[in-house]
Homo-oligomer: A and B are copies of this chain.
Amino acid sequence: MKRVLRVALLGCGVVGTQVARLLASQAEELALRVGARIELAGIAVRRIAHSRPGIASDLLTADAIGLVTRPDVDIVVEVIGGIEPARSLLLAAMKNGKSVVTANKALLAENGAEIYGASREYGADLYYEASVAGAIPLLRPLRESLAGDTVHRVLGIVNGTTNYILDQMDSSGAGFAESLDEAQALGYAEADPTADIEGFDAAAKAAILASLAFHTPVTAADVHREGITSVTSADIASARALGRVVKLLAICERAVEAGSGRPQDGVSVRVYPAMIPRSHPLAAVGGAYNAVFVEASSAGQLMFYGAGAGGMPTASAVLGDIVAVARNRLAGTRGPDASTYAGLPVMPMGEARTRYHVSLDVDDRPGVLAPIAEAYARRGVSIQVVRQTSRGDEAQLMIVTHIARDAALSATIRDLEALPGVRAVASVMRVEGEEE
């Protein structure tokens, strides 16, 4: 049995530095757990001259492709992020018989088929627990613990930046721009926050979760995505008035037949801000934390909660994967593939079944409600609650529907906008996480 396994680390930013530090400080414990020493063979970085406290400078190299193909390297750990050069490096690593650990959600969500395919073709281990929800063990439970169960739904908060911003808006009453500024000042949001606030980050994670949950290839492009940039203080206030709170949710659902609830051949994968009841366990998930609900036939409801990002938590997930691929290598085996046998179609957003909360400014006179109710009825949408608040000659109507096709709900909004008694549609937001 080979008693030393050597790791090539690609990237030495916040996560990479922690991974290097932990491989050194935990060396003895890891050796006892794995049955072999795990040593850092080298670290590929863009700028070698850059000072990195605690990192031995003789490990650094600018020749990433040289490092991943070195014959003495067993495991390649990629924490660069983005598509290139990560993609080429991981493909080269697997082709050269290395086991791969990556935290790269964007690559897996965009080029998953190619990366998973290479893992199968070359018989290389591919582990990526750190790509979704930081340290929270989520992919391994989905891929292994629930392998004998049928997952119906995954519903979660998987982006800490947007959760922090929405939290701020809710607790302080501040607007989106102001809360974003504060998040940036405190380091919770990047200088260019697009990937977070436009939902790209959450959508990539949703694609990875849906692929595993439904044994179906889902890419980032398949995910219906709405960010939080158009969430207003009025939306937050509306939610509050109804005992709800606004969260950016990643939702992966097995499609069900209206009425019977029987599973259909399709999945819905979507990311958008939605109102959930304050009593819902996800409502209490504050700041930069992540939490994910999983609903399965036999297991029922499960929740996983923890730090969703950050150097240390992400490094914990990477180290767990390093131990796993190291054990597999010593045993001469590899972990289970991401199975895609089901190959279910991803349904368009219009086919998703959801509920809408709508806040309307209307004329305060008798007879204004009837045509509004009729607009819903014409689209086959059933209303659950109507609440009217008078404000002089204007009234505010809050309407929450029962579950309906998203296409019918959005068509209703267009109809409402054209009604003479409706002065403005002040807020439209989906409602999730309640009894159906």
Contacts and interface: CB of A to CB of B under 8 A. Distances in A.
Nearest to A38: B148
A421 interface: no
B304 A303 contact: yes
Nearest to A139: B145
Contacts of A141: 137, 140-141
A148 B140 CA distance: 15
Contacts of A366: none
A271 to B, nearest CB: 23
A146 B137 contact: yes
B215 A22 contact: no
B323 A298 contact: no
Interface in A211-232: 215
A324 interface: yes
Given A29-B150, A317-B145, A318-B148, A136 B215 contact: no
Interface in A164-187: none
A396 interface: no
Contact of A301 (B144, B281, B307): B307
Interface in A129-156: 129, 135-137, 140-141, 144-150
Contacts of A140: 137, 140-141, 144-145
B332 A313 contact: no
A317 B303 contact: no
B135 A300 contact: yes
A299 B307 contact: yes
Given A299-B306, A299-B317, A306-B302, A322 B137 contact: no
Interface residues of A, number: 57
Contacts of A305: 281, 302-305
Interface in A256-298: 281, 284, 296-298
B307 A300 contact: yes
Contacts of A301: 306-307
A194 interface: no
Copies of the polypeptide in the assembly:
2
A313 B331 contact: no
Given A135-B300, A298-B315, A299-B307, A320 B149 contact: yes
A253 B297 CA distance: 34
Given A301-B307, A307-B299, A313-B300, A147 B320 contact: yes
A298 B284 contact: no
Contact of A298 (B32, B135, B327): B135
A26 B22 CA distance: 42
A28 to B, nearest CB: 10
Interface string A308-328: 000011011111111110011
26 contacts: A18-B298, A32-B215, A32-B342, A33-B341, A129-B145, A135-B302, A136-B302, A137-B146, A140-B141, A140-B145, A144-B320, A146-B320, A147-B319, A147-B320, A148-B318, A148-B319, A148-B320, A149-B320, A284-B284, A296-B316, A297-B312, A300-B307, A302-B306, A303-B306, A305-B305, A331-B334
Interface of A: 18, 22, 26, 29-30, 32-33, 129, 135-137, 140-141, 144-150, 215, 281, 284, 296-307, 312-313, 315-324, 327-328, 331-334, 336, 339, 341-342
Given A147-B319, A328-B333, 10 more contacts: A22-B148, A22-B298, A135-B149, A137-B146, A140-B145, A148-B322, A148-B323, A298-B315, A300-B313, A303-B304
